Amino acid sequence: MKVLIVNTSDINGGAARAAYRLHQALLAQEIDCKMLVQNKKSDDYTVVGPVSLYEKVLSKLRPFFDALPCLFIENKASTLFSNSWLPSGKIIQKINSMKPDIVHLHWVNDGMIRVEDLKKINAPIVWSLHDAWPLSGGWHYEETQVSNAQRKLDIKIFNRKKKTYSKIENMSIVGLSRWIQDCANNSPAFNGKKIINLPNPINTEIYKPIDKKVSRQLWGLPEDKKLVLFGAIAATSDPRKGFKELSDALSKLNRSDIEFVVFGSSKPLTPPDLGCKVHYVGMLSDDVSLVSLYSAVDVMVVPSLQENLSNAIMESLSCATPVVGFDIGGNSDLIEHKVNGYLAQELNTKDLAFGIEWCLDNSNYEMLSSRGREKVLKYFDSKVVAKKYVEVYKSKLCKG
């Protein structure tokens, strides 16, 4: 069986990291798997990216050209919007020339593939939903405050998708969380398509707890404080990540024994007053740094306002660090309320603050931690998840 995973990048971004982890998990199961990307950041020979200088330059320009239809729209929303109108160039040719048995699409935006070109793919398609873009119009996440011009464009893109999907006979949709699976089931775009729920995998042999004292020494973090971790790409600048809500929650704690750790963001010129000392550790991309940081802290907070299946939550739980987040999106797939973390009422910062303290002061903290690790081992471990994907691929081949 030859599987081709298609994603805009291999390791740059949350969807890319998740897709690449699945790629690695399939290789470990001795599946003939390759990954095709528009922008290659790794040196992995099993990942195919642009080769010539012309292709490399064009890949950098495609996101700009794809965004052109929105360029002159006034009062457009800040939420990520993809037009998917740019001709796919050689991408579809590459996909078909590699003659895969299964094409597994992930996040294919930034001008990588035009919607209409999907029907030119010769092999059966499996498509993992990393956000709501494939099932909606142009927006990747829900947006309500929009201009009339952008709303019309959104409807036009949705109709293009609906028309194209109807012409693709062998395509299955993977909702990475139960929440986005429900969204897909309720979308007219996927009418008649098989929609299943399967998560991203994680290598629990890499993401595992290490000694907390050693971890804190590595990062130069205090050993006599309770540490609260927050992190994401553009952690403090993307409103959807909930830094504002987290700041409000931390201001309610009023404790001298807590310090805050932020990764994914450097220390700003004028740092916000969070009522406690803050350690900014900057951007992290390698597994070793992430594992040691998750192991160093006492609780991870993921206050996202919109979330599918969070890599950060899965990584933290795998390292036996409890997680606090709002009860939104796919968070409940990972966080079991008062079992391995705390699910706060949606947008309730007082409850978020309570959840942080509930985890930090829990008399059964060790059990709380171990249950998080056990959850990941049972449902999200690479070996477990990869085998389930292989079964999906086999079912597609039988159908084809």
- The tens place of each residue's pLDDT in the chain, 400 residues long, gives 999 999 999 988 889 999 999 999 999 999 999 999 999 999 999 999 999 999 999 999 999 999 999 888 877 777 889 999 999 989 999 999 999 999 999 999 999 999 999 999 999 999 999 999 999 999 998 887 788 889 999 999 999 999 999 999 999 999 999 999 999 999 999 998 999 999 999 999 999 999 999 999 999 999 999 999 998 666 566 778 888 899 899 888 888 999 999 998 788 777 777 778 899 998 887 899 999 999 999 999 999 999 999 999 999 999 999 999 999 999 999 999 999 999 999 999 999 999 999 999 999 999 999 999 999 999 999 999 999 999 999 988 876 5
Q: Are 177 and 329 in contact (CB under 8 A)?
A: yes
Whole-structure pTM value: 0.93
Please measure the distance between the N-terminal and C-terminal CA atoms of the chain and give it in whole angstroms: 13
Residue 206 located in a structural domain: no
Q: Which residues contact 56 (CB under 8 A, 6 or more apart)?
A: 50
Residue 197 located in a structural domain: yes
Helix pair 287-296, 212-219: axis angle to 10 deg: 110
Residue 338 located in a structural domain: yes
How high is the pLDDT of residue 290?
95
Specify whether 29 is located in the same domain as 46.
yes
Specify whether 75 is located in the same domain as 187.
yes
The whole-angstrom separation of Cα 114 and Cα 385 is 29
Q: Are 240 and 306 in contact (CB under 8 A)?
A: yes
The range of the structural domain enclosing residue 25 comes to 2-201+381-399
53: phi then psi, degrees, rounded to nearest 5:
-60, -40
Specify whether 385 is located in the same domain as 369.
no
Please report, for the domain that includes residue 92, its CATH number.
3.40.50.2000
Residue 195 located in a structural domain: yes
- DSSP string for 242-304: -HHHHHHHHHTT--SSEEEEEESSPPPSS----SS-EEEEE---SHHHHHHHHHHSSEEEE--
Residue 207 located in a structural domain: no
168: phi then psi, degrees, rounded to nearest 5:
-105, 110
How high is the pLDDT of residue 235?
58
Specify whether 223 is located in the same domain as 367.
yes
Specify whether 61 is located in the same domain as 126.
yes
Residue 361 located in a structural domain: yes
